[in-house]
Amino acid sequence: MKVLVFGKIGQVARALIASGPDHDVEIIPLGREVADLNDPQACADHIARSDADAVINAAAWTAVDAAETEEDAALIVNATAPGAMARACAAKKIPFVHISTDYVFDGSDGPAWLPDDPTQPLSAYGRTKLEGEQQVMAAGGVAVILRTAWVFDGEGKNFVTTMLRLAETRDTLSVVADQTGGPTPAAAIADACLTVARRLVAGTGKAGIYHFTGAPDVTWAGFARAIFASAGQDVTVQDITTAEYPTPAKRPANSRLNCASLEADYSIARPDWQAALDRMITERATS
C-alpha cells in the first residue's frame, strides 16, 4: 500500500515515516517545501497527480496561542487545506485520514467526550480545527477524522521534552493540575492512522469521527511527575490552577476523550502512555 502523507518534520509525520515499513506501507511524505498548506489548491494538486492508495494529513497549524491573533492564517492551514485535500481524495475515490484535536470541545466538567458530543471550541485554534473537520466531512469521500490530545515523542517540541529540558536547571516546577487528558505517543497515533487507512483501502473500515488518546487519563502535573520519575530526576512539582498560569488561548479543562468506538470498529485500544514514556526515556539515555 502507498500512502501520501502531508507533513514531514512534525511528531506524527516523523512517526508515520518510521512506522511505514512495519505496516508494509510505502510512505510518501510531503514537507512544507513541497506542499505548503498555505496553498490549499497546490495540496489538492499533489493528490490529483499521486498514485497513492490513501492520504493522511499529519500537518497543521499547532501554535495554539498564536492563532488567537492570526486566526485567518490558521484557518487556511487547519480548515481550507484539509477541505481541499478531502475533496481531491473524494474525486479520486481514495480514503482520507485527518488528525484533529480535543480543542473542538469546551472542556466542561463531565464524562470523557464522545465523538458525536456537541462541539464548542474555546479558542481560535479550536475553531479552525473544527472548521477543518466540517470541510472534510462535507467533501463526500471516504474519510476518518482522528481526534487526539497531548501528543508527545522524544524529539519534537512537546510537554515531555520541555519538562526534561527544564529539569536540567530547575529542581522545582509549577504545573497546571486542573486540566485532565490522555497523553498520546506520536508513534501510537501513526500506527492507528495506518491501520485505519489500510482498512479503508480494503473496504472494511468505517468512515467517521473517532477519538484516540493514551491511557490512563492524568493531569498535566501528574504527567510531569511521571516524566521526572521515569527519567530519575529529583524535581518537585507544585500544583497550580489554570488561572495561575494564564495563556492567550483558553485550554479545555476536560480533555478526556472516549475512545471506545475506535476499539469497537477498528480493534485499536488506547496505548499505555507510561510504557511509551519509559521506552522514550530509555532511548534518549542510550542515544
Integer Cα distance of 205 and 108 in angstroms: 32
Alpha-carbon separation of residue 20 from 122, 166, 188 (angstroms): 35, 33, 12
Integer Cα distance of 207 and 86 in angstroms: 13
Does the annotation count 125 as an active-site position?
Answer: yes
Length of the chain: 287
276: Cβ contacts below 8 Å, ≥ 6 apart: 185, 187, 188, 214
Alpha-carbon separation of residue 96 from 87, 99, 204 (angstroms): 9, 10, 14
Integer Cα distance of 137 and 148 in angstroms: 17
Integer Cα distance of 286 and 249 in angstroms: 37
Q: 3-state class of 135 per DSSP?
A: helix
Q: What is the distance of C-alpha 51 from the center of its chain?
A: 26
Q: What is the distance of C-alpha 206 from the center of its chain?
A: 20
The candidate with the shortest Cα–Cα distance to 105, out of 213, 207, 226, 261, is: 213
Which DSSP category does 115 fall into?
T
Q: Given the residues 125, 210, 245, 266, select the one marked as catalytic.
A: 125
Task: Name the residues annotated as catalytic.
Answer: 125
